[in-house]
Amino acid sequence: MPETPDIAAARLSPAQLAANFGDAHPPLTPHEAVVEASRCYFCYDAPCMEACPTGIDIPGFIKKIATGNLRGSALRILEQNIFGGSCARVCPTEILCEGACVRMAEEERPVRIGALQRRATDWLMQHDPAPFQRAPATGKRVAVVGAGPAGLACAHRLALHGHDVTVFEARPKPGGLNEYGIAAYKLADDFAQREVAFILSVGGISIDYGKQLGRDIDVPSLSKQYDAVFLGIGQAGVRALAIEGETLGGVRNAVDFIADLRQAGDKGVLPVGRRVVVIGGGNTAIDAATQSRRLGAEDVTIVYRRGAEEMSATKDEQEWAQTNGVRIRHWATPHRLLGEAGYVTAVEFMRTKADATGRAVPTGETFVLAADMVLKAVGQVFVADPLASGGTLTLAVEDGRIAVDAARRTSMPGVFAGGDCVAGVDLTVSAVADGRIAGDAIHAFLAG
């Protein structure tokens, strides 16, 4: 984005930027980890396990931390969730495992499960970078499309079973959402790439970059060349506002803003507006708004069409944004973008209210927020076009995403799918669960 008087780079000093984009939540010390682990009741019928999409034995791994067995703790985590390191950092634990912790009923302060998980997995990655061993080679070959959490989780599971895996990735780096879509302060110090290297250390997995489904490869060809196929292609589309002024300079998709920030070695080269308006209510909106502030934006406002309780961003994420100086305004929807000389200068919003069915409807009353940068975070969508061959979809699509069964099988024999491209909760941990389930299902399929 070209710089203008109101959109500029280097608003903060290098030292300030380094501090702002360092690790936002430093790890527990060894002593803190033991003390925190001792708070766990080690429940037999643990509700925290039920709340974890990957089914990690949470009491089991915490007990091993309490007794000093960090290696055993980490392996217990990673056997269920090979992305345990990043999930410890980015999972919304407050609505998953920690939200279900029985300590909440007594103290309203759960065991810090995410921090303990990070303690164990970080220790293992530092002390044993290749802890997993492959089964004897089966001679079977599997194609995985997408080197994100779903694809790499599936690839790792298949490699453990002895199969050879080729991962096709459209972008120049692996990691998917972890590499391109998470706030830099959540996965700091190049953690996403270090975790990918840890996962690939099992062997038997190769990655072919610059290969895009629908352009360079297609599902029918892959299914002929390989014994099985897994699709972890995410959601490539971004919803538009579909309002006047959307093409003005200074208006961009929040996911692109976050990706640029993630890939910038020097955050000082990234331009940001003085007055930033972010439209949306999910984690992408929170990450875009908070990082705008941390880049040096003076005034940042998130505007969402419904109330705080309906935002898909968790309460903790909302509070995090607010402690970083971000304002959140509710019950308003963008009506049009105003501009001068080709650049956005303001956003006109229409106030909304809930109707009898709970839907947000416009009231007719408007207000204007000044803005020299607008970030759109109104959702991503699955694009089915790459699945087409000869103008016809090769796989069944249901509710706008690839249709799969409980084993993540698609409508085409030998083709499986998981992650954001299938219906479900759009979380890293859910994508990892899909990849692991599909990996085991593909192994069973290959075994006949």
* pLDDT at position 240: 95
Contact of 233 with 146, CB cutoff 8 Å? yes
Q: Looking at residues 135-139, what average pLDDT do you find?
A: 97
Contact of 394 with 231, CB cutoff 8 Å? no
Class level of CATH domain 7-18+239-379: alpha beta
36 has pLDDT over 70 = yes
Q: Looking at residues 175-198, what average pLDDT do you find?
A: 96
C-alpha 236/C-alpha 170 separation (Å) is 11
* pLDDT at position 156: 98
Q: Looking at residues 162-170, what average pLDDT do you find?
A: 98
5 has pLDDT over 80 = no
**Quick one: which of 386, 417, 381 has its CA closest to 399?**
381
395 has pLDDT over 90 = yes
pLDDT tier for residue 408 given thresholds of 50, 70 and 90: very high
207 has pLDDT over 60 = yes
Two tokens, residue 265: 């070695």
**Quick one: which of 399, 439, 398, 400 has its CA closest to 418?**
439
Phi and psi torsions of 73, nearest 5°: -60, -50
105 has pLDDT over 90 = no
Q: Looking at residues 113-118, what average pLDDT do you find?
A: 98
Interval 234-246: pLDDT, tens: 998 999 999 999 9
Sheet strand arrangement including 326-329: 251-253, 373-376, 275-279, 299-303, 326-329
CATH superfamily entry for domain 141-236+382-446: FAD/NAD(P)-binding domain (3.50.50.60)
Q: Looking at residues 134-151, what average pLDDT do you find?
A: 98
List of residues 6+ apart from 238 with CB closer than 8 A: 253, 255, 376, 379, 380, 381
pLDDT tier for residue 448 given thresholds of 50, 70 and 90: confident
Phi and psi torsions of 346, nearest 5°: -165, 165
Interval 247-288: pLDDT, tens: 999 999 999 999 999 999 999 999 999 999 999 999 999 999
- What are the Cα distances from residue 246, in Å, to 334, 365, 404? 11, 21, 36
C-alpha 442/C-alpha 448 separation (Å) is 10
Give the number of C-alpha atoms closer than 13 A to the C-alpha of residue 3, restricted to the C-beta side.
10
Two tokens, residue 263: 């890939």
106 has pLDDT over 90 = no
pLDDT tier for residue 392 given thresholds of 50, 70 and 90: confident
- What are the Cα distances from residue 145, in Å, to 30, 176, 207? 39, 11, 10
Alpha helices for 43-190 (secondary structure H)? 47-51, 58-66, 70-78, 84-90, 97-100, 103-107, 113-127, 149-160, 177-180
Give yes or no on whether 38-127 and 141-236+382-446 have one common fold. no
Q: Which residues are paired to 275 by β-bridges?
A: 299
List of residues 6+ apart from 141 with CB closer than 8 A: 163, 164, 165, 166, 225, 226, 227
Does domain 38-127 correspond to CATH entry 1.10.1060.10? yes
Domain boundaries, the chain: 7-18+239-379, 38-127, 141-236+382-446
Q: Looking at residues 423-440, what average pLDDT do you find?
A: 93
pLDDT tier for residue 426 given thresholds of 50, 70 and 90: confident
186 has pLDDT over 90 = yes
